Structure 1
């Protein structure tokens, strides 16, 4: 399954051909602006909240902190499940038809 997010670089002829050449691929095309449907939006909001008071930190240190926060989340599956649940999407349903 592919969730196609409508980013302008993702709607090229090459991308359409790649999809058309894979009959087994199911494509889900969400509404144009729908951050609530993307679990990664919740994840980034969570990470950014933990970095809010570090605006003056050097860029290389900030990169290390972001990587550290993401690494910690790998060991907290309940938190990651919460980001999925926050979308309200039922992941057990059959996928929608391809566009």
Structure 2
């Protein structure tokens, strides 16, 4: 692994107009009602949370993408093209899960042409090792909790507000990494 690279965790999640029902602080015996239109419109979001391997003071950096529908290989390649611009062509070690679009032939062919990118896979059935899962949890427990939007744009706006909240709190992305049990240590200089 390149010791001067960004270590970037990638994950995708979905949002919809159906509210994320969460506990509230309503007075006892006064159950709040969530009124919403039964609508199955969905969007997908992808986040890449990066930490610099040699210089932790440079990170963390969060790249976010939101689109209607779901991700396929072509859409994920577009996300990775944006990631290249986001990291200005610096070396990136991308760690992702076993989603089939991550491992398709088209994705593998595209990735072999990228000199800035090294791909790594998380162990199967180990979402607890991906700090982006904690980012999704934070969004869904705060900005998206009990949100009964009329339009998908309402949910997208709330999601983007949450991304801004996380981006403006320098400790929160580090806490996501700490919660996974993984650490980023800069290399010790030779004597």
* Band the TM-score falls in, shorter-chain normalisation: 0.7 to 0.9
What corresponds to 1:66 in structure 2?
A: 159
Rounded Cα–Cα distance in structure 2 between residues aligned with 1:61 and 1:24: 36
Correspondent of 1:46 among 130, 138, 152: 138
> How well do the aligned residues superpose, as a CA RMSD in angstroms?
2.4
Flag the structure with higher helix content.
1
What corresponds to 2:184 in structure 1?
A: 91
Indicate if the aligned counterparts of 2:177 and 2:183 stay in contact, CA closer than 8 A. no
Higher radius of gyration, 1 or 2: 2
Structure with more relative contact order (C-alpha pairs < 8 Å, separation 6 or more): 1
Structure 1-normalised TM-score?
0.74
Q: Does 1:77 align with 2:170?
A: yes
The unaligned stretches of length 5 or more in structure 2 are 1-92
Runs of 4+ in 1 over 6 A off after TM superposition: none
Shift of 1:92: 2.5
Rounded Cα–Cα distance in structure 2 between residues aligned with 1:14 and 1:88: 33
Flag the structure with higher strand content.
2
Question: Using a 3 Å threshold, how does the CA distance of structure 1 residues 24 and 69 change in structure 2: closer, same or farther?
Answer: closer
Number of matched pairs: 93
